[in-house]
Chain A
């Protein structure tokens, strides 16, 4: 007889307990309506990710034209045109860097495009030996944006010392980037977008899982590679200011600003549905307020700490390290929100491996 009444008793108990517990009262709880995850992913794909990649491919082509012109006329004027195009491309890269999944992961894009600090000795060797093959293992640290940074802004470029081989190395690097960026942009335009917006789970291979995990990965690169390491966090406090991103162009802080702004914008979904709305829908709290607001505010604090540094980043590291320490601390506080509070509220997985809930 027991089995026949079990569900009834349990249901009655359930209703009673829900009333008693009171922590989820349907009356005053508006997130009862459903959240359209697909609409969020569609917004992110159409209004954040794809425009960023299209712009990236365009900016790479602009730099390629400028480098072609420099090859034809190695003057300071043409050099400055190329430099300007490079800075635009370097900053646009920051707006794509968090999306290292799907086509970008297939191309290993981050590694190819932006491994820094760059190996200048290897670049000089490539120039001397006329080496045009950047895919070899020895060139892992000697290609992409950091190589272009060195070639366009390094000491030889100041002197207008343009040998044919040096110009050729510039050309080989921008060709590589044009090819890679175009490939990734085309893949998003052709088929990956639809795959992305339909991939609605929360496992590590889902759109949300990849987005959250890669956003976090790129954010940690801001904290560690772009700020921490140059500040001496991995060298017992001894500054390694030459390890900043965009060292020769002296645009490290602009890169950090662009990276943080892009990451915040991804979190907010631009003007549309983003992770912030999803967290709000899930009623995710942080302390007294909403988690989404805490994350947006902490991004703002990181940005204002970045903007507060008046000199170049290497200069600040050597002469006013307190300001850089402050930036690093604010990044450290944000990484906690992004890597603990956000994923655990979203229930995002970091692996396909089996788990039993702990």
Chain B
């Protein structure tokens, strides 16, 4: 009970709301920018309207595909909701709306899974429950909610924990032979940037991939702690900027670097945030108002927080429950902060066999976009969904589909292409589950 009461005291200790206010404004603004960038690049059309078929996440097959009007409306509403988060207008409803819309859009097609989209979903879920709209917001200005000067410490720690998880587990994921010993995939990616000014010459240097790999792993593993510790914090934040700007420059990773540069500001002390907010003339209301939290609810809240932390810590490691190299079979791979770990390309030749033994070779480009085809050829759950889709398609054309099989070759982190699955297995007779897929061939 001693630890538990100590923990309670710490979790519910009132601390300044200022870091949370900065986080709300920065996150909301970056989301607005991300949505307009996505829209302006034509990706709503490319990703959600052009494809005639969408890959789903296991357990979310029921997610409906949007019409073109619906998907554009989703993005418009997301932009509105994100602006409202930044402004603190109907903050809690805006956060809930943003979370639901963003997560729905992510669930439409698993082809486009990115760890940072998952991160955005999680953060917007947390924001619903954080009192980030209780200061320097329109809600307060209009008198709809009471202003707060101080909030329970957990609300800021939770965001720090979420950011720490992203970095630390991304670092843990790098502790593998390909990354540390063979400097893969950076040994492939860096030389492709040899034409860049200044840094280009470095990219061609034989030791560059090794140095980048090790520094990358070291950075990910240590940065949450270096940001937490006051003496190292300014240097750590400079490293955050340098690291993310570098990755933004070298790789096609979109808004993620800026989201992380903005989000990690939360590690700075409240006094720093208060100074920034004064300089920006952000209005502050109320006199030392402290967030009330009912003593009866505290144990419930502590339990919920503990569960969240536990799930976020353990769920990414579920891949250890599958035999073989998770970087190859990718079972239990998503939602685990495994980023930039693999360079791979696959080719999948599907064959549909009818009752008379006639064989039909599938041209994937008739069913999938190039991006979908690339993702399908290297991910076993997509292979199953595609096989089921082909069976359905050809049966609708009047062919009695006996079996669907596929010759899939994958080139993985510089290795020669090799069979990814058993080409003899009837994929149409299988359905996806969380159990191991024994028809995935081991990595040679």
Interface residues of A (CB under 8 A from B): 2-3, 6, 10, 13-14, 17-18, 21, 23-24, 26, 29, 32, 34-35, 37-38, 200-203, 213, 220, 224, 228, 233-238, 282, 284-287, 291, 332, 335-337, 339-341, 343-358
Contacts and interface: CB of A to CB of B under 8 A. Distances in A.
B194 A339 contact: no
B252 A285 contact: no
A3 B232 contact: yes
Given A352-B252, A354-B253, 18 more contacts: A3-B235, A21-B182, A201-B195, A228-B361, A233-B359, A233-B361, A234-B363, A236-B356, A236-B358, A236-B359, A291-B416, A345-B411, A347-B192, A356-B114, A356-B340, A358-B330, A358-B339, A358-B341
Contact of B347 (A21, A335, A351): A335
Nearest to A7: B215
A285 B411 CA distance: 11
Interface stretch (B4-12, B204-212, B265-273, B303-311): B204-212
Contacts of A3: 226, 231-232, 235-236
Nearest to A25: B206
Contacts of B340: 356-358
A38 to B, nearest CB: 8
B134 interface: no
A37 B195 contact: yes
Given A23-B182, A236-B359, A340 B411 contact: yes
Contacts, number: 169
A358 B114 CA distance: 8
Contacts of B374: 350
A70 B418 CA distance: 55
Contacts of A282: 188, 191
Interface in B102-134: 112, 114-116
A349 B252 contact: yes
Given A18-B210, A340-B410, A350-B371, A235 B360 contact: yes
Contact of B417 (A14, A341, A355): A341
With most chain B CB atoms within 10 A of its CB, the pick from A3, A285, A344, A345 is: A344
Interface stretch (B19-27, B41-49, B152-160, B382-390): B41-49
A200 B204 CA distance: 15
Interface string B347-361: 101000010101111
Contacts of A14: 207, 210-211, 214-215
A233 B361 CA distance: 5
Given A29-B206, A34-B204, A332-B349, A353 B417 contact: no
A345 B188 contact: yes
B345 interface: yes
A353 B361 contact: no
A356 B235 CA distance: 26
Nearest to B414: A345
Contacts of B211: 14
Contacts of B218: 6, 10
16 contacts: A3-B232, A17-B210, A233-B360, A236-B354, A285-B416, A286-B416, A332-B349, A339-B347, A344-B188, A347-B191, A353-B112, A354-B253, A356-B253, A356-B340, A357-B251, A358-B341
Contacts of A234: 360-361, 363
A341 B343 CA distance: 11
Contacts of A17: 180, 210, 214
Contacts of B341: 357-358
Nearest to B409: A336
B164 interface: no
B254 interface: yes
B157 to A, nearest CB: 22
Given A24-B206, A34-B204, A336-B417, A343 B345 contact: yes
Given A287-B416, A354-B255, A358-B339, A238 B358 contact: yes
Q: State the 8 A-B residue pairs at the shortest beta-carbon distance, nearest first.
A: A236-B358, A354-B254, A357-B340, A200-B195, A233-B361, A344-B345, A202-B192, A340-B411
B401 to A, nearest CB: 11
A226 to B, nearest CB: 13
B192 A344 contact: no
A226 B345 CA distance: 25
Contact of B115 (A23, A200, A352, A356): A356
B165 interface: no
Contact of B345 (A18, A340, A354): A340
